[in-house]
Structure 1
Amino acid sequence: MEIGTIITPQVMVALAACDVREAKIWKRARLSVIATGKELVPPGEASITPNSIPDSLSEALLLLGRQWGAIPMASVRVDDDLSIVEAQARIAIANSDIVAVIGGASAGKRDYAKKAFRKAGTQLIWEGVSMKPGKPVWMGKSGSTFVLGLPGNPTAAITTARLFLVPLLKILGGTHKSNALCWSEIPLAEDFEYNSDRLAFLSAIFRDGKVSIEKDQRSSGQIRLLTSDGLVRVEPGSGLITEGTGVPFLAW
């Protein structure tokens, strides 16, 4: 049996039939989430809480992790306070294999995430990617625990989580990252023009063997997540991409 084989009920039957008493397996990664921002409240409370917005990401990221093999751990919301973020960072690092941090990744005066995790012993591996959306994304490591910093905007965060968190989960689970990033070349259903100098990952709809890139690609356009089937990768300065041209597509 090859390394990286997922233990399904069928695989379990085959192992037992071969009289295998036990098999060496990779443990599932433990995933914790820290959402930064004093304006965040649990979903259902924003309408009755002044100057607040619902935390739409924490549970979604834990669910994404579960779907890709993680063990969901705690999710916490913290104010934009350096000492508070640092304290929660230390707790999460001690109890997780991956910590996803939402927000606090930009250059604002109250964006404390990276600084707080550095104070908690995290070494920055890389920061900032020339991509759209998700430019502020960053990654660090503290001991054996990985820390992934995601943008505060929910659509940008879920996009970068699909591109960075999911492959990391597969690698820590003993399989290759390609098992998480299965790009397929799909013909474009209609013309699309792209002139930005950043690599783009755009929400798209898959229908009848073709993909349509959704018109509204604002990072704040969360409603399109209900209709999109995945992401289309568009190279910087592509210009006009005509109908029928094959484009890389990644299902959610």
Structure 2
Amino acid sequence: MALMPVKDALARLLDGAVPLASETVAIGRAAWRVLATDIAALRTQPPFDASAMDGYAVRAADVAATPVTLHVIGEAPAGKGFTSKVGPGEAVRIFTGAPVPAGADAVLIQENTRLSPGGVEALEPVAAFRNIRRQGLDFREGESLLGAGRVLDPAAVSLAAAANHATLPVIRKPLVAILATGDELLPPGSETGPDQIISSNAYGVAAVIEKMGGVPLDLGIVPDDRPAIAAAIDSAREAGADVIVTLGGASVGDHDLVREVLTSSGMTLDFWKIAMRPGKPLMFGRLGDVRVLGLPGNPVASLVCSHLFVAPLVARLGGRPYALDIRDAVLGVDMAENDQREDYVRARVETRDGVLVAAPFPVQDSSMLRILADANALIVRPPFAPAAPAGSPCRVVLLR
């Protein structure tokens, strides 16, 4: 059976995936969420002509020729404006953010004044409306401010708060259940027996999910047992998972039971096995409305597939833009010809004379996490790529 190309597998995975329904959250919990609908200003900002500096509210005509002494008739701190009108030859002591009193049309900054027995002496002229933030300078009530799909970064969430939104409509975070299977697995911190290893894949996959704005739901480690696997799948569905990610157990061994149990539970298998290294035994199917993604058990394959498949799926369901950071580079060493699978080769990339140079690690075993942690890129080698000498062009996926 021919293996499915990576691009076709990704297209099948994302087919029909749309942002989830919206929910309303308090403004204090909206940071880094995705806005579900356009929002408009509920107020005008500034709501009045406001002083942009500490100084004196004056009539520009009174200080056109300086020095000149003005009579100080009051004070306007922020939050408590001066209620009378500024007349000819008068000034009001004013502070940043305070409303400019009626009659005044400029703010003379404090540095350009000097106190005098008769009031305050203006040492420099000031033009009309100088040092004043005009009403509505930032936005006006009813004006559109942020569009649907905007990630609420610090500036966006501050703008929404300034526009008087106490709550915001955001796209619900995808809930992604993670199920690790294997009799040999124990959680970190365990004392391992002679036939056991520490389970690590779930933590890396969860980190990818969180980075993409999803919520990982760790179902723990399940033994290679059909009823136990079925029970874990049922618990994921009961929790309302949008996606179930299984780790291991989807290959062809006698103890690889995940695909069989999922199919028995009603999963419609879309594809199984793709033309990719590492990551050949990738599985995808649908269990009702739940998307099921079976990742390989090998740690590196699991994480590489997370970057290529889990990340875009979670981003799409969460309404976030996402694309791999793929760049042009050149090979730092010779590379042999490739077979029928698309290769994602762990490498270290550095810039030399303005050019990205990618050097693959000499050992690429899919169990070696340390190499993946040391790598900052993956060299993408197309199927049947010919042997390439150092200096040949290549494409790299930047990981960091």
Q: Same fold (TM over 0.5)?
A: yes
Partner of 2:274: 129
CA deviations over 1:113-138 (Å, ceiling 9, x no partner)? 01111222222222110111111001
CA offsets, 1:34-55, max 9 Å, x none? 11111101123254x2311110
Q: Which runs of 4+ in 1 moved over 6 A?
A: none
Deviation of residue 164 (structure 1)? 0.6
CA contact (8 A) 1:59 1:75 kept: no
Q: Gapped runs of 5+ residues in structure 2?
A: 1-145
One-letter code aligned to 1:16: A
Q: Would the aligned equivalents of 1:46 and 1:53 in 2 still touch at CA under 8 Å?
A: no
Residue 258 (structure 2) aligned to one of 101, 109, 113: 113
Give the Cα separation in 2 of the matches to 1:164 and 1:29: 15
Shift of 1:220: 1.9
CA shift, 1:175, in A, is: 2.8
CA distance in structure 2 between the partners assigned to 1:142 and 1:235 by the alignment: 32
20-29 or 103-112: which moved more? 20-29
For the pair 1:195 / 2:349, whether they are aligned, the reply is no
The SS at the match of 1:129 is coil
Q: How many residues align?
A: 249
* Letter of the structure 1 residue corresponding to residue 359 of structure 2: S
Tell me the SS of whatever aligns to 1:239: coil
Is it true that 1:39 corresponds to 2:184 in the alignment?
yes
Which of the pair is proportionally richer in helix? 1
How far the C-alpha of 1:74 sits from its partner, in A, is 2.3
How far apart are the structure 2 equivalents of 1:147 and 1:158?
16
Matches within 5 A, 1:146-225: 146-176=291-321, 179-208=322-351, 209-225=356-372
Q: Which residue of 2 aligns with 1:97?
A: 242
> What is the percentage of aligned positions where both structures have the same residue?
27
Instruction: Measure how far apart 1:210 and its partner are.
Output: 1.8
Tell me, in whole angstroms, the C-alpha distance in 2 between the residues paired with 1:8 and 1:199.
Answer: 36
1:170 Cα deviation after fit: 0.8
SS at 2:149's partner residue? coil
Deviation string 1:117-168 (CA, Å, 9 cap, x unpaired) is 1222222222110111111001112232211101111111111111110010
Deviations 1:83-133 (A, max 9, x none): 111111111123211211011111112211011112222222221101111
**Mapped contact 1:166–1:180 kept (Cα < 8 A):** no
**RMSD (Å), alpha carbons:** 1.8
Greater Rg by CA: 2
- AA aligned to 2:297 is G
Structure 1 segment 12-27 matched on structure 2, within 5 A: 12-20=157-165, 22-27=167-172
The answer to whether the 8 A contact 1:203-1:232 is kept is yes
Q: What SS is found at the alignment partner of 1:247?
A: strand
Match of 1:58 in 2: 202
